[in-house]
Structure 1
Amino acid sequence: MLGSGNLGNDGSLEAVLGYLRAAHPEAAVDALCGGPEVVTARYGIPATRLHWYRGEYRTASRAGAIAGKGLGKLVDAVRTAAWVRRHDVVIVPGMGVLEATLPLRPWGFPYALFLLCASGRLLGTKVALVGVGAAPIGSRPTRALVRWSARLAAHRSYRDALSRDAMRAMGVDTTRDEVHPDLAFALPAPPAHPSPGLVCVGVMDFHGGDDDRARSEEIHRRYLDGVTRFVRALVQEGRPVRLLTGDACDAAVVGTILDAVDSPLVTASRAASLADLMKETAAADAVVATRYHNLVCALKAGTPTLALSYAAKSDALMTRMGLDAYCHPAREVDADRLLEQFRALEERSAGLRRTLTERNRLTTEQLDRQFTALTAALFPATDHTHAVRETP
């Protein structure tokens, strides 16, 4: 999923690259990913396409496309094994690779992750799932692939306790698995320079999760209507609003809100990385956001934040950072109630900024311990140079 337009995924890669370059400068690093051209251009490392079939991310409706996807699954098994075999270590850097909180098909990424972990086990290459997210999965095929991927990995750590509990419930022995903050918290935070009155609102092309397909359009309409009403209410109070995204697919939602509110007070961010998003959130008086890594950026920047929560991972993140009272369900956005919560957030702004300063200090210490443990697990002292590889 790296290089495919999701800023949170790429931010996780950036955090692990920072660790490798600081702690293991001798390591030769490359990537196996969905957007190899983007990863090479942005991070300066060689990259290989994850899928042989170039139409993998498009819906297959014609016989030729269906056949191409089917053949691609067979070819990918060989390609993945050959790639893994050339390496000493493969790191899957963060991301929700063990969850289905958004719509997901088992033959897509779950199958690719299974191939990766199975190849590592068969060929003697360490595959490490580092700081990943997991959640209960309703689909049996998807759950089976995720369970076996986790079992076959040589190292696992999670970004919250809920993720570890979910894997334990799926039958994975998590006795030695550790929980650490999300990898994106390892990225440097910009200085806070709030612009008076500015509110950042992080939006998402949200249609519910994998189990919500039957009512996905209803969920989307309710979410979009609620967020639009909230933005309009802020504008009526004279507040400038900056719309944030976290994935290329969110642009349509931004356009709809801009058209509906039709005010010069509402502008759209052009952030191209998590660093850009952190700068946006550091300049705000407050943030209301949906995407998980929008929340991470705002919390890391030390800005009072309210979560439009679409999964338990968002609630867990807000609890970790001391803002558990400021969560609102993304599936049932109530603009009036959201405004009440937002006003309560702003009333406690000064105290919440102090809380975030302390929680960020603890988070940095915990991530330092994770990287130390990762070195011990993956890079035992030897007298030869390791080849270290990145993949989603």
Structure 2
Amino acid sequence: MRSPRETPPRVGVFGLLGSGNLGNDGSLEAVLGYLREAHPASPVDALCGGPATVTARYRIPATRLHWYHGEYRTASRAGAMAGKGLGKLVDVFRTAAWVRKHEVVIVPGMGVLEATLPLRPWGFPYSLFLLCAAGRLFRTRVALVGVGAAPIADRPTRALVRWSARLAAYRSYRDAESRDAMREMGVDTARDEVYPDLAFALPSPPRGTPDGTVCVGVMDFHGGNDDRARADEIHRRYLEGTTRFVRALAEDGRRVRLLTGDECDTTVVAAILEAVDSPLVTAAEVASLADLMAETAAADAVVAIRYHNLICALKAGTPTLAVSYAAKSDALMAGMGLGAYCHPAREVDADRLLEQFRELEKHAPELRRTLAGRNEETVRQLDHQFTALTTALFQATAPRETP
């Protein structure tokens, strides 16, 4: 253990942070809150997708994750393909140089060990592997904290994810299904723990005055990694079913607030607003999970598809119905006592969704009591997560010799 006079360990945070996904940024915010309270002397910086946003919002230095600026644009021309290929090589050295400057690197939450949405192996899985391999090489303790995982069919992606997990110094998961998935992929999870999602550590919003509003969280949903052949059909069915549901609420005189969780979701919001064309249906402008929580806290009920939209509503104590696109949503709802209120995202049936919604509202008072108790428990569990993180990373960190 370091003596009080030694230099505090340098901490890095890593991931697709500041890139427009509010859930990812919420996980970062929770980890930064922990670091500033428990380890205020440790300098923190980021290697991330949106460095300008991270620096402006969270006041920490940040470096771009990829050397090639067009990393997440489809490369159809020879020049773009060459740029991506060169970028993969350059990123080996950039990532290694960044990791070497730290004693601890934290990957805060996020579904970094899953492919429930379209994902290529040479994208983020490759970046995560470079991080964990560099951590092992330079004896930097890389921690995958409260991450999500799921079975992966694609062999290259599965191999990169499996080796990333094996090379990490610390792992914890946001649900038992994630730990089971990694065990099935050949990772020894005997010492890995399960805790609630990191976003549950964020401050709870004040309860608003319910006025009959229903929040409907939407997503630019095209299925997962294994659904590429029918992605357009899945998207059309999801959009049509969600639009019919919103229209039915408006025809009943209910105010509807459309919520997003990523910048790409705005196209779905625009399509629903145009199709329903009602003054009762409006779109919320949200820039953080705190904004999302405030919206859901003021609602009578929430129907949402994005995982962190669900977390915000559950954290706010609002009766919630999940339009579920992955096992992680089902597990989250079951863990919070609302397992009966899930609807398949790939087969949205507006009539059935309305039936489930009315059942949800009928049991709203008891569901609010259930959520209040479960939220108290999540706070206790996350306190234990951060204590375990301090023990595993900071008390075990010692001056290193360069290999």
The correspondence of residues 152-301 of structure 1 with structure 2, limited to 5 A, is: 152-301=167-316
Q: Aligned partners of 2:360, 2:209: CA distance in 1, in Å? A: 16
Q: Which residue of 1 is the match for residue 331 of structure 2?
A: 316
Number of equivalenced pairs: 385
Give the SS at the match of 2:136.
helix
- TM (normalized to structure 1)? 0.97
Structure 1 residue 339, shift from structure 2 partner: 0.3
* TM norm structure 2: 0.95
Structure 1 moving runs of 4+ over 3 Å: 381-384
Partners of 1:178 and 1:56 in 2: CA distance:
33
1:145 to 129, 135, 160: 160
Question: Which amino acid is 2:291 matched to?
Answer: D
Cα deviation for residue 196 of structure 1 reads 1.6
Q: Is 1:344 the equivalent of 2:353?
A: no
Does residue 78 in structure 1 map to residue 93 in structure 2? yes
For 2:17, what is the secondary structure of its paired residue?
A: coil
Alignment partner, residue 72 of structure 2:
57
Task: Find the partner of 1:303 among 318, 342, 363.
Answer: 318
Shift of 1:64: 0.3
Deviation for aligned residue 1:292: 0.1
Give the distance between the partners of 2:206 and 2:382, measured in 1 at CA.
20
Going from structure 1 to structure 2, the CA distance change for 1:144 and 1:296 (only over 3 Å counts) comes to: same
Instruction: Please tell me whether residue 371 in structure 1 is matched to residue 386 in structure 2.
Output: yes
Q: Distance in 1 between matches of 2:382 and 2:67?
A: 35
Q: CA deviation at 1:194?
A: 3.4
CA change 1:383–1:314 in 2 (3 A) is closer
SS in 1 for 2:312: helix
Distance 2:238 2:387 in 1: 41
**Which whole-Å deviations, capped at 9, do the CAs of 1:304-362 have from their partners, x for residues lacking one?**
00000000000000001000000000000000000000000000000000000000000
Tell me the secondary structure at the aligned position of residue 27 of structure 1.
Answer: coil
Q: Which amino acid in the other structure matches residue 43 of structure 1?
A: Y
RMSD: 1.1
Q: Which amino acid aligns with 2:105?
A: V
The C-alpha deviation readout for 1:134-192, integer Å capped at 9, x for no partner, is 00001000000000000000000000000000000000000000000000000001111
3-state SS of 1:48 partner: strand
**1:169 and 1:192 mapped to 2: Cα distance?**
42
Displacement of 1:238: 0.1
Question: CA offsets, 1:362-384, max 9 Å, x none?
Answer: 00000000000000000117899
User: 2-side partners of 1:269 and 1:249: how far apart?
Assistant: 15
SS at match of 1:99: coil
On the 8 A contact 2:103/2:397 being kept in 1, the answer is no
Q: Does 1:12 align with 2:12?
A: no
Alpha-carbon separation, structure 1, partners of 2:58 and 2:269:
28
Once residues 186 and 22 of structure 2 are traced to their aligned partners in structure 1, the CA distance between those partners, rounded to angstroms, is: 31
Give 1:195 shift.
2.9
Give the Cα–Cα distance (whole angstroms) in 1 for the partners of residues 256 and 127 of structure 2: 39
Deviations along 1:67-86, one digit per CA (max 9) or x if unpaired, are 00000000000000010001
User: C-alpha separation between the residues in 2 aligned to 1:55 and 1:197?
Assistant: 44
Aligned to 1:390: none
Distance of 1:85 and 1:45 partners within structure 2:
18
Give the CA deviation at 1:57: 1.1
1:126 aligns with 2:132: no
**Per-residue CA shift, 1:197-252, capped at 9, x if unaligned?**
10000000000000000000000000000000000000000000000000000000
Which residue among 68, 73, 77 is the counterpart of 2:83? 68
| Alignment-mate amino acid for residue 306 of structure 1 | L
Higher RCO, Cα 8 Å, sep 6+:
1
Q: Is the 8 A contact 2:105 2:141 kept in 1?
A: yes
